[in-house]
């Protein structure tokens, strides 16, 4: 089901983007995501998994490059067009869409660095790729460092002695990498490239980090088993190990002087995206609940005809609309300025994901016992939604980081639109 968009100014082209993406999400992504959810984590990425066909169709549609600029062969979508596309795709499958747009984001970061060598070597081939053979992931979290890695304004972040588990040193014209990233790195089991955060200068503590691009077929790279997890099982997660992996010097595109800012920028974009993930699954929950309430008869009439159910469904509808409005506003803001405003990204992420967990809970209640069987998609949506409040920064951590930003910047004066 797709509902009226409250923005009356959508152009014909924007409506087309929305309806084409909705059809694709319904016919391709949703059925595959339900199959992947029921498979083991290993089978879900095996050669004969339906994941590959779905991903290839995404690339053939050009969705992987839609958000990249036309100057490098991308689709040149505006922020609003991007938001419309993301909502529909995430409605169909959080996992496959996250795999896809994580790749977009990894290669977009390289583009933003402005180094022509990186653009020609990585970004242009990604845009030209039509068979899903180039896929990205972002490795920051480590077995011993979760929230630590994200709280750049905390005093321990620059305390000598606290250091990351993946480390790099310069040897002539090459960086040599050693260490391990946590099993939480999304899409890493199937990724061909990793945007990797690592430790360079121990005297600066965690703030002495760097960010580089690592092709994952290099000697010395290995991967752990894909993780079995509660929800978002259509997204694979797993460890990456580095043993004397050598990369050319220019692959390290952020060094310690820019490191803390680069994390804030990543979280600003990443958490704007997270709010759209929440929107996709929130709307999926509403759509299913609304349809179910039309069909299920109790007390001699459809559930939807009972006054208490009208109230519950309308409340859910209001929440979805509020999530969309907030998410779209923050997405548009942070896609139009540089660097993004993290306090808005964290506000949108925490608000939208928590509202979505509530919506998913109510959706199960509305389905009654049917809500907890695999005969209906709602139990999957419930599990998928639950992960949102931890992904890309546990919500308390993000509120804390946002509070620090407010202390330092409030009241913020106007920001300059650059895109
Ligand atoms: C579905 C999913 C996808 C993910 N994808 C990726 C990915 O692509 N790449 C990647 O690198 N990581 C990824 N992650 C990891 C994610 O970013 C981390 O799980 C998250 O940042 C929290 O870290 P943690 O799990 O280590 O929890 P911890 O940091 O151990 O936190 C546990 C609890 O302790 C609290 N806490 C932590 N520090 C403090 C403190 N100093 N003071 C008080 N309380 C504190 C937290 O608020 C939280 O409630 C993903 C996670 C999930 C669930």
- How far does the centroid of ligand 1 lie from the alpha carbon of residue 377, in Å? 27
Q: Are residues 264 and 405 in the same domain?
A: yes
180 pLDDT more than 50? yes
Q: Position of tokens 């490191």?
A: 259
Which residues lie below 8 Å from residue 72, measured CB to CB, with a gap of 6+? 111, 119, 123, 124, 127
In a domain, 419, yes or no: no
Bridge partners for 245 per DSSP:
177
- pLDDT recorded at residue 4: 80
- 153 Cβ below 6 A of ligand 1: no
Report the separation in Å between the CA atom of 149 and the middle of ligand 1, taken as the mean of its atom positions. 9
Q: Which of 110, 92, 305, 311 is nearest to 194 (CA)?
A: 110
d(CA 335, CA 341): 10
Instruction: Among 235, 254, 273, give the residue marking a domain's end.
Output: 254
* pLDDT mean over 108-132: 97
Within this chain, do residues 295 and 398 fall inside the same structural domain, yes or no? yes
Contact 32, 50 (CB under 8 A): yes
How many independent structural domains does the chain possess?
3
- CA 144/CA 309 separation, integer angstroms: 46
Backbone angles phi, psi at 222, to 5 degrees: -140, 165
Report d(CA 195, CA 205) in Å as an integer: 20
217 has pLDDT over 60: yes
Q: For residue 402, how many C-alpha atoms fall within 13 Å in the half-sphere facing its CB? A: 22
Q: Are 185 and 194 in contact (CB under 8 A)?
A: yes
Tell me: the pLDDT tens digits for 285-310? 999 999 999 999 999 999 999 999 99
Distance from C-alpha of 135 to C-alpha of 126, rounded to nearest angstrom? 8
What is the C-alpha to C-alpha distance for residues 166 and 176, in angstroms, rounded to an integer?
A: 10
391 lines ligand 1 (CB under 6 A): yes
In a domain, 40, yes or no: yes
Q: Strand pairing partners for 110?
A: none
Say what the pLDDT of residue 1 is: 47
Mean pLDDT of all residues in the chain?
Answer: 96
Task: Report yes or no on 153 lying in a domain.
Answer: yes
Distance 397 CA to ligand 1 centre (A): 8
| Same structural domain, 128 and 243 | no
Q: Does 81 lie in the same domain as 152?
A: no
CATH (domain of 197) = 2.40.110.10
Whether residue 265 is found in the same domain as residue 234: no
- Determine the pLDDT at residue 415: 86
CA distance 345 to 331: 8
**Torsion of Cα atoms, 227 then 233 then 234 then 240, to 10°:** -20
In a domain, 415, yes or no: no
Q: What is the mean pLDDT of residues 336-361?
A: 97
Whether 231 and 384 have beta carbons less than 8 Å apart is answered as yes
The string of DSSP letters for 111-128 reads HHHT-HHHIIIIIHHHHH
Query: Do 85 and 219 share a domain, yes or no?
Result: no
98, 147, 197, 235: residue to mutate for ligand 1 pocket, most atoms within 8 A of CB: 147
> In 296-336, which ranges are continuous DSSP H helix?
307-335
Write the residue with the smallest CA distance to atom 5 of ligand 1.
Answer: 186
> Rounded CA gap, 27 and 44, in Å?
19
Q: Is the CB of 185 under 6 A from ligand 1?
A: yes
Closest residue by Cα to atom 37, ligand 1, is 147
Q: Which CATH number belongs to the domain containing residue 118 in this structure? A: 1.10.540.10
For residue 274, the domain's CATH number is: 1.20.140.10
Phi, psi for residue 296 in degrees, rounded to 5:
-80, 125
pLDDT category of residue 46 using cuts at 50, 70 and 90: very high
From 91, 108, 134, the end of a domain falls on 134
Q: Which pLDDT does position 3 carry in this prediction?
A: 66
Q: Tell me if 390 CB under 6 Å of ligand 1.
A: yes
Can you name the residues that pair with 174 across neighbouring β-strands?
171, 248
Closest residue by Cα to residue 411 from 340, 325, 343: 343
pLDDT band for position 2 (cuts 50, 70, 90): low
Distance 181 CA to ligand 1 centre (A): 13
Torsion of CA 148, 153, 156, 158, to 10 degrees: 110
- Tell me the per-residue pLDDT of 187-200, one tens digit each, with 9 for 90 and over: 999 999 999 999 99
- Residue with the smallest CA separation from ligand 1 atom 43 is 397
Q: Examine the pLDDT at 370 and tell me if it is beyond 80.
A: yes
416 part of a folded domain: no
pLDDT tens-digit readout, 228-276: 999 999 999 999 999 999 999 999 999 999 999 999 999 999 999 999 9
Q: Are strands 167-171 and 297-298 parallel, antiparallel or unpaired?
A: unpaired
Residues above pLDDT 70, as percent of the chain? 99
Q: Are residues 346 and 393 in the same domain?
A: yes
Residue whose structure tokens are 């490059």? 65
DSSP state of 209: E
pLDDT at site 418 = 77
Q: What is the Rg, in whole angstroms, of the alpha carbon atoms belonging to the chain?
A: 21
Do 159 and 294 share a domain, yes or no? Answer: no
Nearest CA to ligand 1 atom 41: 148
Q: First vs last Cα of the chain: how many Å apart?
A: 33
Same domain, 141 and 128: no
Show the domain range for 68: 12-134
Q: Are residues 250 and 293 in the same domain?
A: no
Q: Do 265 and 380 sit in the same domain of this protein?
A: yes
pLDDT for residue 291? 97
From 134, 167, 184, the end of a domain falls on 134
Same domain, yes or no: 404 and 282: yes
């Amino acid at each position: 089901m797709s509902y009226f968009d409250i923005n009356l100014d959508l152009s014909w082209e924007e409506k087309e983007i929305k309806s084409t993406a909705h059809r694709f999400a319904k016919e391709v992504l949703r059925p595959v995501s339900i199959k992947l959810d029921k498979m083991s984590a290993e089978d879900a990425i095996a050669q004969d998994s339906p994941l590959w066909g779905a991903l290839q169709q995404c690339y053939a549609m050009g969705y992987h490059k839609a958000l990249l600029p036309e100057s490098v062969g991308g689709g040149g979508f505006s922020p609003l067009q991007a938001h419309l596309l993301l909502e529909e795709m995430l409605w169909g499958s959080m996992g496959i869409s996250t795999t896809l747009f994580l790749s977009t984001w990894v290669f977009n970061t390289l583009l933003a660095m402005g180094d022509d060598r990186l653009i020609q070597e990585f970004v242009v081939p990604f845009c030209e790729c039509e068979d899903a053979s180039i896929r990205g992931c972002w490795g920051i979290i480590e077995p011993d460092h979760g929230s630590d890695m994200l709280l750049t304004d905390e005093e321990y972040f620059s305390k000598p002695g606290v250091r990351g588990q993946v480390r790099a040193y310069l040897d002539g014209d090459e960086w040599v990498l050693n260490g391990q990233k946590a099993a939480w790195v999304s899409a890493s089991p199937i990724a061909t490239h990793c945007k990797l955060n690592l430790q360079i200068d121990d005297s600066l503590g965690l703030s002495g980090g760097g960010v580089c691009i690592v092709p994952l077929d290099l000697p010395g790279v290995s991967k752990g088993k894909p993780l079995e997890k509660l929800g978002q099982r259509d997204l694979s997660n797993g460890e990456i190990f580095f043993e004397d992996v050598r990369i050319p010097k220019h692959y390290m595109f952020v060094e310690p002087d820019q490191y803390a800012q680069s994390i804030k920028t990543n979280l600003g974009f990443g958490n704007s995206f997270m709010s759209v993930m929440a929107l996709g699954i929130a709307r999926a929950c509403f759509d299913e609940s609304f349809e179910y309430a039309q069909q299920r008869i109790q007390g001699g009439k459809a559930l939807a005809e009972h006054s208490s159910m009208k109230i519950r469904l309308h409340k859910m509808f209001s929440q979805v609309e509020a999530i969309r409005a907030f998410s779209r506003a923050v997405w548009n803001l942070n896609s139009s300025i540089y660097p993004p405003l993290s306090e808005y990204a964290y506000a949108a992420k925490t608000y939208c994901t928590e509202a979505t967990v509530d919506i998913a809970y109510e959706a199960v209640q509305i389905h009654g016992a049917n809500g907890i069987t695999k005969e209906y998609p709602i139990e999957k949506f419930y599990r998928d939604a639950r992960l949102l409040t931890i992904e890309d920064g546990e919500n308390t951590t993000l509120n804390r980081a946002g509070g620090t930003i407010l202390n330092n910047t409030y009241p913020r004066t106007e920001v300059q639109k650059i895109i």
